[in-house]
Amino acid sequence: MTLRSTSGRLALAVTASFLLAFVLLGAGVHYAVSALLVEDAREVVRADAAGLVELYREHGRQALRTELRERLDAQDDPDAVYALIAADGRVLAGRYEGHAIARAPSTRWTEFVERDGDERLRVVAQLQRLSGGDTLLTGVRLRSQGRFLALMLRTALAALLVAATLGALIGWLTSRWVSRRLRSLDDTAERVGGGELALRVALDGSDDAFDRLARRFNGMLDRIGELLGGVRHATDHIAHDLRTPLTRLRNRLEELRDRPDDAGREAELDAAIAETDQLLHSFGALLRLARIEAQPPVHDEPVLDLAELARDAVELYTPSAGERGIVLRTQLPRAEEAPATVRGDADQLFQMLVNLLDNAVKYAPADSEVEVRLRRERGTVTLAIGDRGPGIPPADRERVFDRFQRLEAHRGSPGTGLGMSLVRAIAHRHGGHVSLGDNAPGLEVRIALAAAETGRG
């Protein structure tokens, strides 16, 4: 594990964060304890000074000098500090010279350092001006407090060493855990790249970031598998369904070449051109299908009124439907109702409507009707197109979405077998879902798309 790797930098970041947090916490605790000890010492000094000032007021300077000398000689409290300094700077009692006091800050409280052998002792003292002009210094050496803080500092340094070791261990374990979680993803990607397309990353069910990443990775592999399966499926159907018209076209061209006269040549050429047009139409539909499936979702597409597209498509097919006596009935949102707005590609949505109407009109019996219904409810725009034709058995309804898949009952009718594949691809790109149902009699195709807000107030 080196610092160039992400796991190494992660381990270093965890260790540094752990140590920084410990140092900040230790510094805060040291400062708080030190301030508390100083405040306690000041309380002791304040109470002691108050008693001495009261003695001075009641019995005068001499009584105070005597009291201070007795306290210093008795050594009951070796850390107590006393001094009485006259107005002219002479030390009347105590062991401190006048210059030590003179260097003290001109505040009521002062702190200075005293040497006791090799030990440097911090002194907290209070200066009070007495009524006679004298100055009383009352203080205490922070000997025990200093030793406690020194012990605390040594303990903190030892704890810092433990924290550094623990932080490094936690960082290392964290980096190992991250590497192990990513190794499964990396191994799967390597094996999939090597050809094991059915392999998927194992999920642990924790729903953490790594588990969600693995789920999205598996979803991506599933989508790639679907696209590859579609390519293989399309290739198989191209080889199967296009072989017959190509063979027929070749045979006609050979007959034209071997025919000695021009009898019937024009009809044969027309048939060959029709075959060629049908082949070109099939390849064009395949290209459109591949392009639609490769496009990203329509998150950034403009908002469209699906009702207007439906009206245009119905208007386009009304003449051809009228030739067979088929009536196109529409149930579209009225002006006062919520508009059937969706976000998407207008050309593709219109292509979807045209394919559905073409199938409905093609398989509907003469003198029947085709219904086009569109409504918006609960954030969904639902399009339903129903006819009165033979319908599709429930067992075969999913097959019609496959490329070049045509049911046996419809083999003789014109078409490429790609219309419903295009419908499903367009609906999926627009975040929708296609379902087939029984129209009793006939077939009903229902498409549910996510509704889009128009932004009108």
List, in order, residues 6 or more apart from 271 with CB less than 8 Å away: 252
Q: Are residues 268 and 321 in the same domain?
A: no
- Is residue 189 in a domain? no
CA distance 107 to 123: 15
Cis bond before residue 441 (omega within 30° of 0): yes
Q: Are residues 48 and 138 in the same domain?
A: yes
- Is residue 82 in a domain? yes
What percentage of the chain carries pLDDT values higher than 90? 17
Q: Are residues 406 and 374 in the same domain?
A: yes
CATH code, 371: 3.30.565.10
Q: Are residues 56 and 139 in the same domain?
A: yes
- Is residue 204 in a domain? no
Q: Are the C-beta atoms of 151 and 160 separated by less than 8 Å?
A: no
- For 66-114, how does the pLDDT look when each residue is reduced to its tens digit (9 = 90+)? 888 888 877 777 788 888 888 777 778 886 654 455 444 444 788 887 7
Q: Are residues 17 and 77 in the same domain?
A: yes
CA distance 283 to 290: 11
Tokens of residue 257, six digits = 């070449």
Number of domains in the chain: 3
Last residue of a domain, one of 152, 181, 208: 152
- The tokens 């009206």 sit on which residue? 311
The stretch 218-227 carries a mean pLDDT of 82
CA distance 243 to 364: 30
- For 23-73, how does the pLDDT look when each residue is reduced to its tens digit (9 = 90+)? 888 888 878 888 888 888 888 888 888 898 888 888 888 888 888 888 887
CA distance 187 to 221: 14
- Is residue 220 in a domain? no
Last residue of a domain, one of 102, 137, 152: 152
Q: List beta partners, residue 136.
A: 84, 128
- Is residue 456 in a domain? no
- For 120-145, how does the pLDDT look when each residue is reduced to its tens digit (9 = 90+)? 788 888 888 887 788 888 888 888 77
Q: Are residues 40 and 66 in the same domain?
A: yes
Residue 439, helix vs strand vs coil: coil
Q: Are residues 379 and 412 in the same domain?
A: yes
Q: Are residues 312 and 399 in the same domain?
A: yes
CA distance 372 to 387: 9
Closest by CA to 381, choosing from 349, 413, 405, is: 349
Q: Are residues 325 and 290 in the same domain?
A: no
Residue 128, helix vs strand vs coil: strand
Q: Are residues 264 and 349 in the same domain?
A: no
Q: Are the C-beta atoms of 150 and 123 separated by less than 8 Å?
A: no
- Output the pTM of the full model: 0.52
- Is residue 40 in a domain? yes
CA distance 179 to 244: 55
Pairing of strands 369-377, 327-331: parallel
Q: List beta partners, residue 447.
A: 383, 434
Range of the domain at 66: 6-152
What single letter denotes the amino acid at residue 319?
A: P
Last residue of a domain, one of 110, 134, 152: 152
- Is residue 15 in a domain? yes
Q: Are residues 282 and 341 in the same domain?
A: no
Res 215 pLDDT > 70: yes
CA distance 361 to 126: 106
Res 438 pLDDT > 70: yes
* pLDDT at 208 (0 to 100): 77
- Is residue 184 in a domain? no
CA distance 80 to 71: 9
Please provide the size of the chain in residues.
457
Helix 6-74 / helix 143-193 crossing angle, nearest 10 deg: 170
Closest by CA to 316, choosing from 373, 261, 354, 273, is: 354
Q: Could you give the maximum distance between any two Cα atoms of the chain, in Å?
A: 155
Q: Are residues 10 and 147 in the same domain?
A: yes
Q: Are the C-beta atoms of 176 and 189 separated by less than 8 Å?
A: no
Residue 424, helix vs strand vs coil: helix
CATH code, 104: 3.30.450
